[in-house]
Amino acid sequence: MTGHYPVMLPEVLEALSPSDGGVYVDGTFGAGGYSAAILDAADCRVIAIDRDPAARSRAAAMQEKYGDRLVFLCGCFGDVAQLLEGGGIGKVDGFVLDLGVSSFQIDEAERGFSFRFDGPLDMRMNSESEEPTAADIVNNYDEKKLANIIYLYGDERRSRQIARRIVERRAERVFETTEDLADVVRDVVPKSHKDKIDPATRTFQALRIAVNDELGELERALISSEDVLNDGGRLVVVSFHSLEDGMVKRYLREKSGSEPRGSRYAPVAVDVGDVVFKLRGKKAVKPSDVECKENSRSRSARLRAATRVVAS
């Protein structure tokens, strides 16, 4: 596979443990790095999901090698239960998620994910959808709502100043391009020598999360996971943001009976109910030093996994 580095691949395979005859859902097909590795690891089937229609042709190319062992379904992993039902697929033995966007998406200026290239301020993972774009959000949301998004999803301390500048600037001229937005943010946020990232990084991340309702998607996928997995099936999630990782951590703790019941901080609105998962390790697994050197995006990755167990 080319174009996208499959993050924590050895650790994902170990946690998922594909076996002959099994059926595995790769909920974030992307460039197909995980799907190919699962199909190579065992004589199994992979149901690959991606909300980006551009992934379809990559899956079709892989089907030349794997035939009907690989099935591609275009849709959101939050709808995994409905997608599987619609495809006539029963319960599965594994469900893996590698959250966020792929290098293909980031590197294509037209998609509007990156401040490194000038392009339309879009950021929708499914650019054929009718959902609002990042430009719709920055041109229409009120100042407070913008500040909240940038603060909460971007961890940006200067969120209020950025939101104020966005509102001032759009009164003169609406935002159309990634450069329009990056310039405004760079005016407000000084370049830090400490973290070495572009000052626009956090704001762009926040908008991407909002545009694609990424946390809502994760919540829906977690809630569905207990229904779609066979007993003994594995749930494996690789996340890149503390909000995502915190959500996975607390969900799995609740569902494995390791969290005090009814914690008022539990972010996922679920009926706690029975114990249906067994944690695979209490702590998140981090990428190896070698991987972090090879691929800087891996540095923030955290993997959590659990096994579906008979409800008790």
Interface residue list for ligand SAM (CB under 6 A)? 4, 6, 28, 30-34, 49-52, 55, 76-78, 98, 100-102, 125, 217
Minimum distance between the CB of residue 95 and ligand SAM, rounded to whole angstroms?
12
CB closer to ligand SAM out of 282 and 299: 299
Q: What are the phi and psi torsion angles at 221 (to 5°)?
A: -65, -40
Minimum distance between the CB of residue 143 and ligand SAM, rounded to whole angstroms?
28
Rounded CA gap, 237 and 217, in Å?
13
Q: How far is CA 191 from CA 15, 118, 153, 161, 238, in A?
A: 39, 20, 20, 15, 29
Bridge partners for 94 per DSSP: 24, 234
Minimum distance between the CB of residue 295 and ligand SAM, rounded to whole angstroms?
11
Minimum distance between the CB of residue 81 and ligand SAM, rounded to whole angstroms?
13
CB closer to ligand SAM out of 102 and 159: 102
CA dihedral 35, 39, 45, 50 (to 10 degrees): 10
CB closer to ligand SAM out of 49 and 84: 49
CB closer to ligand SAM out of 184 and 211: 211
CA diameter of the chain: 61
Minimum distance between the CB of residue 236 and ligand SAM, rounded to whole angstroms?
11
Q: What three-state secondary structure class fits 210?
A: helix
Q: Is 159 exposed, middle or buried (0-12, 13-18, 19+ CB in 10 A)?
A: buried
CB closer to ligand SAM out of 167 and 243: 243
